[in-house]
Amino acid sequence: MPPAGLIKSVINSHFDEASDCYADLSATPDLPELTGYRHKLHQRLMANLEGLLLSRDYAWTLCRDHIENGTSAEEHFVIAFLAFEINDIPHVKTMLARAFASSHFFKATSDALCWCSWQKAKFWAEQFSQSKEINDRLLGLKAFRYHQKKSPLSLPIVIKGIFSRPQACAQNFLLTEVITDKDKALLPVLTSFITDNLTPDNFELICKCITLGHEDINLLLPFINKENSRQENAVIFAFRRITEPRKSQWFNQLKVRPNAVRLLLIAIGAMADETCLDWVVAQMDYPEYARLAGQSFSLITGIDLDKRGWVLNDAQMDQAWLAYDFDETLDWPDKVKITAWLTSYRNKH
């Protein structure tokens, strides 16, 4: 039973609101122009978590119900945060059963531990650091680094342990959450594990090394020139960084790829190349490329099509076009309005 004076629906609302806030925060890029929005989201998130902690016994009963019925990563974050804050070993063990179910759950568990006060996080960071399980040790290591405390673990040794016995979830978490752009001293260790494999793990490793200062961007060419699950990601990553004459050389190579139009649209968007704007708009005539062309147009011009009202809803679409399932997360661009704006813009400038 919930404590006297508290309404069950209010506590449920705190749980749902905290989960939604964490989802929004995770989906919002950490950019300077979004700092204020992210700060407000974080404040709302913490306020709802504090509301749950005010009635922790009933809140944990609610958490247990969610665990039994299956949870999303966002809900898992709330459960993990409460488990760490309540500081109850059985609660934490219950939560850890799902902590490494996927990279999203891994990050949610880590965020929950890191966002606890160091007074609460210290105990668990120390316990995890002593574990024989690599995932536990990564949780502990990240918490020590997040709170800027000296870790009992050596990061180079942890790296060697993970890459010597590859575990996709652990490797992904290490590269995306533990190692930061300041860890340039780790480059010799990391580059020693780069292979010729066209796997997602090797792609992430190469990208991390390049971000840290490794100069051989040619390592990405196999990912760009051959069809693989990271081909489009490789085009985005590379064309945001390369300069002439390599940029023109690689761009011309894309033209002979089997999926050339898609790759060219992605590369043009990554470069924000205004000289290709007319060609990009022309691709909006083809259902398999239209939505991607709309995204490229936005990346080139900085214009949000939805805010301008330059998108089409399903009712305005040819039903044959709706049968195409390409780029479903993107909007259908309104080429008529876009073309009118482009003509007006050029006449004025």
Could you read off the pLDDT of 195-233 as tens digits, one per residue? 999 999 999 999 999 999 999 999 999 999 999 999 999
Q: Are residues 176 and 210 in the same domain?
A: yes
The verdict on 13 and 85 lying in the same domain is: yes
Looking at the fold, whether 62 and 141 belong to one and the same domain comes out as no
- Domain-ending residue, one of 192, 215, 238: 215
Q: How confident is the model at residue 339 (pLDDT cuts 50, 70, 90)?
A: very high
Residues 121 and 59 in one domain: no
Do 81 and 134 have their domain in common?
Answer: no
pLDDT at 6: 54
Same domain, 1 and 86: yes
- pLDDT attached to residue 33: 81
Domain for residue 284, yes or no?
no
Of 46, 38, 60, nearest in space to 18 by CA: 46
Query: Considering only 195-204, 287-296, 303-312, 319-328, which range has the smallest mean pLDDT?
Result: 319-328
Q: Check pLDDT > 60 for residue 4.
A: no
In the predicted structure, residue 1 carries a pLDDT above the cut 60: no
Total structural domains within the chain: 2
Say whether pLDDT at 95 is over 60: yes
In a domain, 90, yes or no: yes
Does one domain contain both 88 and 123?
no
Residues of the chain above pLDDT 70, percent: 98
What's the average model confidence in pLDDT over 152-166?
A: 90
Is the N-terminal amide bond of 245 cis, ω within 30° of 0? yes
Give the CA count within 13 Å in the CB-facing half-sphere of 166. Answer: 10
Residue 276 lies in a domain: no
Q: In terms of Cα–Cα distance, which of 158, 39, 49 is closest to 112?
A: 49
Give the integer Cα–Cα distance in Å for 307 and 184.
40
- The reported pLDDT for the residue numbered 3 is 54
pTM of the prediction? Answer: 0.85
Tell me the residue range of the domain where 3 lies: 1-26+42-100
Sign of CA pseudo-dihedral 251, 299, 244, 195 = negative
Domain boundary among 215, 239, 265: 215
Same domain (yes/no): 90, 124: no
With respect to residue 185, please indicate whether it lies within any of the assigned structural domains: yes
Could you say which of 100, 126, 144 is where a domain stops?
A: 100
Q: State whether 56 and 13 are in the same domain.
A: yes
Domain for residue 338, yes or no?
A: no
**Which of 151-155, 164-168, 220-224, 237-241 shows the lowest mean pLDDT across its residues?**
164-168
Q: What is the mean pLDDT of the chain?
A: 92
| Assigned domain for 123 exists | yes
Any domain includes 75: yes
Confidence of residue 56 (pLDDT cuts 50, 70, 90): confident
SS3 string of the chain? CCCCCCCHHHHHHHHHHHHHHHHHHHHCCCCHHHHHHHHHHHHHHHHHHHHHHCCHHHHHHHHHHHHHHCCCHHHHHHHHHHHHHHCCHHHHHHHHCCCCCCHHHHHHHHHHHHCCCHHHHHHHHHHHHCCCCHHHHHHHHHHHHHCCCCCCCCHHHHHHHHHHCCCHHHHHHHHHHHCCCCCHHHHHHHHCCCCCCCCHHHHHHHHHHHHCCCCCHHHHHHHHHCCCCCHHHHHHHHHCCCCCCHHHHHHHHHCCCCCHHHHHHHHHHHHCCHHHHHHHHHHHHCCCCHHHHHHHHHHHHCCCHHHHCCEECHHHCCHHHHCCCCCCCCCEECHHHHHHHHHHHHHHC
Name, in order, each residue with C-beta under 8 angstroms of 62's C-beta and a sequence gap of 6 or more.
11, 12, 15
What average pLDDT does the segment 239-262 reach? 95
- Average pLDDT over every residue of 180-189: 94
Judge if 7 and 62 occupy the same domain: yes
Taking residues 10-39, report their average pLDDT: 90
Q: For residue 324, tell me if it sits in a domain.
A: no
Residue 322, pLDDT score: 83
Angstrom CA distances, 132 to 189, 207, 213, 227, stand at 22, 29, 32, 38
Determine the pLDDT at residue 197.
Answer: 94
